[in-house]
Amino acid sequence: MSGLAAGPAALDRSAPPLPTLLVIPTGIGCAVGGFAGDGLPAARLLAAASGCLITHPNVMNGAALYWSDPRLQYVEGAALDRFAAAEIALRPVRRQRLGLLLDAGLDPELRLRHLQVADACRASLGLEIGPVLSTDAPLAVTLQQGASGSSWGTLGRADALLRGAEALQRAGATAIAVVARFPDDPGSDALAAYRAGTGVDALAGAEAVISHLVSRELGLPCAHAPALAPLPLDAQLDPRAAAEELGHTFLPCVLVGLSRAPDLVPRPAAGDWVEPGLLRPEAIGAVVAPAGALGGAAVLACAERGVPVIAVHNPCVLAVTAEALGLAVLAASSYSEAAGLVLALREGLAPAALTRPLPPLQAR
């Protein structure tokens, strides 16, 4: 009996999870997380350090590549902001029933490619997908770039998007994947710079518009996959952009991520949540974000509530720093160092105790 008591379970003395937010804003050219799923290694490390990492599709999506981990919660960006602001809680689930909404602007070949991806995820991964609907009008996505260099875009037919998403919800979908036709511009300087690892993802800003709108209006997990014609081979491709070259669609990672995305549970009109098992916003123990992109809603909401903000050196086109905002932060030179700070917080260690010199206390 004593041998059984000394087994691995008995020796596991790890601290309880420290729910942590990882935010890498989309469309601002972050050196880590600004490309095709290249934020995944950082997310995996932070999930291991925290025991519970809540992050958004921009971090997790690598086109045909993805990573499932029960310690990772896949939460659409606008919903993550609402979680940080204590407007919603998260309900972990075993699976979601995925509704697939296809842009009526898809040409027949691209439409078929995306249907085949969905069938592959059903047959090979066991995902529950369906119903599948098309919008009643082309969504008419346009791409633009802001003065800062960040990408954004517009949606010509937001009404068609919402009608399609609402129809999927009425048909029983509990999470929604959207495939919209994006403009092809294979000869653009912006695309060449992105594929070379020196530019901004020109699609990301418009993608965020689509998923934010559906998530806000319907209260369901949502993520988006752009539909584009395949690009010609590029021998000088940056490894961070390579995941987007592996297939004809970006849909696989979206379906896998949404398949276990947590439900979004609004705060009751009166009182507090009473449902057991919810991941509640007051449990957030830290938020990790690029040092130059600290002005987002999630980071500011956490800072206002006294949640430690870990600002990571991760160059981007923005310069919204702790100094500019008057925030007190924990600085990290890399996501590896950020993971160490998260682990220190999880273990109840004061991060200052790990630095040298350690100044003596002064009596007042």
**pLDDT greater than 90 at residue 12:** no
Q: Decide if pLDDT at 97 tops 80.
A: yes
Whole-number pLDDT of residue 120:
97
Instruction: Could you list the beta-strand ranges (E) of 258-334.
Output: 263-266, 286-290, 309-312, 330-332
Q: What is the mean pLDDT of residues 76-83?
A: 97
Gap between the Cα atoms of 357 and 164, Å rounded? 59
- Range in 27-36, 180-189, 230-239, 248-257 with the lowest mean pLDDT: 180-189
- Within 10 angstroms of residue 166's Cβ, the number of other Cβ atoms is 14
Determine the Cα–Cα distance for residues 40 and 106; give it in Å rounded to an integer.
29
Which pLDDT does position 112 carry in this prediction?
96
- Reply yes or no on whether the pLDDT at 56 is more than 50: yes
pTM of full prediction above 0.85:
yes
Q: Which of 233-242, 272-281, 283-292 has the lowest mean pLDDT?
A: 233-242
Position 247 scores a pLDDT of 82
Domains and CATH numbers, the chain: 16-92+264-349 (3.40.50), 98-257 (3.40.50)
Tell me if residue 110 falls in helix, strand or coil. helix
C-alpha span between 173 and 167 (Å, rounded): 9
The average confidence (pLDDT) of the chain is 93
For 100-131, the pLDDT digits (tens) are 999 999 999 999 999 999 999 999 999 999 99
Tracing tokens 């990672």 back to the chain, one arrives at: 253
d(CA 92, CA 263): 7
Report the pLDDT averaged over residues 28-57. Answer: 96
Q: How many CA atoms lie within 13 A of 222 on its CB side?
A: 28
b/e code 12-47 from CB counts within 10 Å (16+ = b) = eeeeebbbbbbbbbbbbbbebbbbbbbbbebbbbbb
Q: Stretch 326-338: mean pLDDT, rounded? A: 98
Q: What is the pLDDT of residue 245?
A: 87
Q: Is the pLDDT of residue 232 over 90?
A: no
Residue 20 binned pLDDT confidence (cut-offs 50, 70, 90) = very high
